[in-house]
Amino acid sequence: MRYQKDTLPSSTSPINLLSLDEVGMGRLVQQFGWPRYRTGQILRWLYQRRAKDINQMTDLGQAERTALASLATIPRAVGCTVFRSIDHTRKLILTLNDGLSVETVLIPDEDRLTLCVSTQVGCTLDCRFCLTGTMGLKRNLKAHEIIEQVLTAQDRLDSGERITNLVFMGMGEPLANMEALSEAIRRLTNKPWGLGWSPRRITVSTAGLAARLKDVAPLGVNLAISLNATTDDQRASLMPAVNGIASLKTLLAACRRYPLPPTRRLTFEYVLLKDVNDTDADARRVVKLLANLNAKVNLIALNPGPGIPFETPDPQRVAAFQTIVRRALPCFVRKPRGLDVYAACGQLKRMELVTL
């Protein structure tokens, strides 16, 4: 082994192997004077075998492992608490290295097991019906902290389980943390050393950061837009921050420009709030707004939360709304999941901050 000490970082803080992208890892391997294939080997240990310790990397020689461990660490999450719902949804609360925590939710449903991933601690936005919005933004997650949620969920699966879908619908606004989101998706979809996910099984959801939609397209993943209102006045009162950034018109224009592959649809999510945005007139406006878009609509009746000043509409109202939209577009009603452990849409907020 050639060990070019003078070219390696001399600082006392260890290198976080999870913070390195492929180029960064390649550079580190080069600085050690190791053959190039070591880059792929180390990355495979991190992402495919979920190594927590450099000593597990048994296809590196003992001397190489010692050299690497003297300079670098694999700082995976420091803790994980799991809450199980009676409907088998599981909420995982991960404690990050700086003591903040982030939530990720495993949702089993017939032949699917969906993992709902967070991109920020708290959220940049202030949507009035969402509990995460009331926390404010604590900070953006780093790419490796986004991946950490997938790795930890995989570590915690029951026997025979396999995650089939990933949705970026946890805490935070994914497009407000675009760089980390993109890098996380690159590692998730990388086949030679990453997690090998098909981008078709990944969905990124945005509250409507219109100018950034174009940055999602190259990732090849599905895009969901949280519409939630049918007039600008309504949207401004329900989602003030994001509507201030992009009006409905701007948002829908960006959706029309989105380079959607022919076999795919944009998903529009719509939280139904009793007597606020759940009328027949709203349903007809949804149809009008989405005309000429290759779209489908997912309706979610409000999941209540402490301090959330809205009510859940009756199932009959939800059904009537669906009937109108379905005349023009595919339209589904999402079942609430994990309500009893505050794991449902819009309910992700540190447990101790929620009075159950």
**Any idea which residues carry the catalytic annotation?**
103, 345
Binding residue (CB under 6 A) for ligand SAH from 51, 302, 331, 343: 302
CB of 83 to ligand SAH, least distance (A): 18
Residue 180 sits in the site that holds ligand SAH (CB under 6 A): no
CB of 307 to ligand SAH, least distance (A): 11
Which of the ranges 17-25, 105-113, 144-152, 295-303 carries the binding residues for ligand SAH, by CB under 6 A?
295-303
For 199, other C-beta atoms within 10 Å of its C-beta total 15
Instruction: Write out the binding residues for ligand SAH, residues 245-274 only, by CB under 6 A.
Output: 269, 271
CB of 126 to ligand SAH, least distance (A): 11
The answer for 196, left when phi > 0, alpha when psi is -120 to 50, beta otherwise, is left
Whether residue 124 contacts residue 173, with contact meaning beta carbons closer than 8 Å, is answered with: yes
Give the C-alpha separation, 113 to 89, whole Å: 10
Residue 14 has what DSSP assignment? Answer: P
Binding residue (CB under 6 A) for ligand SAH from 141, 169, 216, 254: 169
Binding residue (CB under 6 A) for ligand SAH from 47, 144, 346, 350: 346
CB of 302 to ligand SAH, least distance (A): 5
Whether residue 199 contacts residue 185, with contact meaning beta carbons closer than 8 Å, is answered with: yes
Residue 228 sits in the site that holds ligand SAH (CB under 6 A): yes
For 338, other C-beta atoms within 10 Å of its C-beta total 25
Instruction: Write out the binding residues for ligand SAH, residues 120-139 only, by CB under 6 A.
Output: 129-130
- Name residue, tokens 């998903």: 267
Give the C-alpha separation, 240 to 13, whole Å: 42
Q: Distances in Å between the alpha carbon of 22 and those of 60, 204, 258?
A: 18, 23, 29
Q: Which residues in this chain contact ligand SAH in the complex, by CB under 6 A? A: 129-130, 169, 173-174, 205-207, 226, 228, 269, 271, 300, 302-303, 305, 308, 345-346
